[in-house]
Amino acid sequence: MNDAACLFCRIVERKLPADIVAEEEGLLAFKDVNPQAPIHLLIVPTEHVPSVADLTERQTPLIGRAIHFANRLAHRHQLTPAGYRLVINCGPQAGQSVSHLHLHLLGGRPLRWPPG
Ligand code: 5GP
Ligand code: ZN
């Protein structure tokens, strides 16, 4: 069940425009509207899950599949062998601003660590 008030559910349902780069069963990848690197994609489950902390046991395989999807997108965007970063923010103190689970794929420039 998707949430009509959720930004990323609306993107999944094509009710809000987004630069969609790839889709596979249960997952959608689109460009971040405010990119923090030359390549900045968001990978989201098509099913509404508020945060990584809310994943049920049934839903946990989604994360493995999302990482595998991100790895293939990184390869497709020539981010290997230079490298890339995958980030999941969880909750307000970690900077999660959209309450629909998303994996950030960042690359195309040197990325500092720790992020601050
Ligand atoms: P968070 O801070 O929750 O980890 O990441 C949310 C991300 O969603 C941010 O990087 C932000 O730029 C992106 N974002 C917010 N609203 C939209 C939108 O309407 N479309 C797209 N494509 N990205 C969005
Ligand atoms: Zn949602």
How do the domains of the chain map onto residue ranges?
7-107
Taking the CA of 48 as reference, the closest ligand is: 2
Mutate to test the pocket of ligand 1, among 15, 98, 100, 101 (most ligand atoms within 8 A of CB): 98
Buried b (16+ CB within 10 A) or exposed e, 39-61: bbbbbbbbebbbbbeebeeeeee
Residues 6+ apart with CB under 8 A from 13: 2
Q: Which residues are catalytic?
A: 102
**Spatial separation of the C-alpha atoms in residues 80 and 45, rounded to whole Å:** 24
Query: What is the Cα–Cα distance from 46 to 66, expressed in whole angstroms?
Result: 11
pLDDT in tens, the chain (116 residues): 578 899 999 999 999 999 999 999 999 999 999 999 999 999 999 999 999 999 999 999 999 999 999 999 999 999 999 999 999 999 999 999 999 999 999 999 999 999 87
From the candidate CATH numbers 3.30.479.20, 3.20.20.70, 3.30.428.10, 3.30.930.10, the one assigned to the domain spanning 7-107: 3.30.428.10
The whole model's pTM is what?
0.97
